[in-house]
Structure 1
Amino acid sequence: MSNLRAKGCPLCGAPTNPDYRPFCSRGCRDRDLLQWMGEGYRVPGRPIDEVADEED
């Protein structure tokens, strides 16, 4: 089960803080949230034009 434990903060690699787990600080936690809100973690897909053509 030790393979399932995080090695550190997923953004900077620093040791995690229980208050902000899995991050090391509020700053890293907030940066991750901003990535989600700004669509920084997108999965590429087909262009919207192709999807709209299939629906018609």
Structure 2
Amino acid sequence: MGNSHLVRLRRIRDLISQGDRYDTSHTRLVCYSGSGFTGELLQVAQQESAELISLDHLYA
């Protein structure tokens, strides 16, 4: 899973917030992956406080 997945989630969150119908100020971006995350995504997620959930994390 790469950075493009996080970019997509950000875009969806931004589109939802534009309608002023939903408050997305506390929305957390979370990616789940069974095969792992790219180094770029790991770095970006840490900077943005996005959460990355791997299989090891799920079954720990």
**Structure 1 length-normalised TM:** 0.28
Larger Rg belongs to: 1
Query: Greater relative contact order: 1 or 2 (C-alpha under 8 angstroms, separation 6 or more)?
Result: 2
Q: Which has the higher helix share?
A: 2
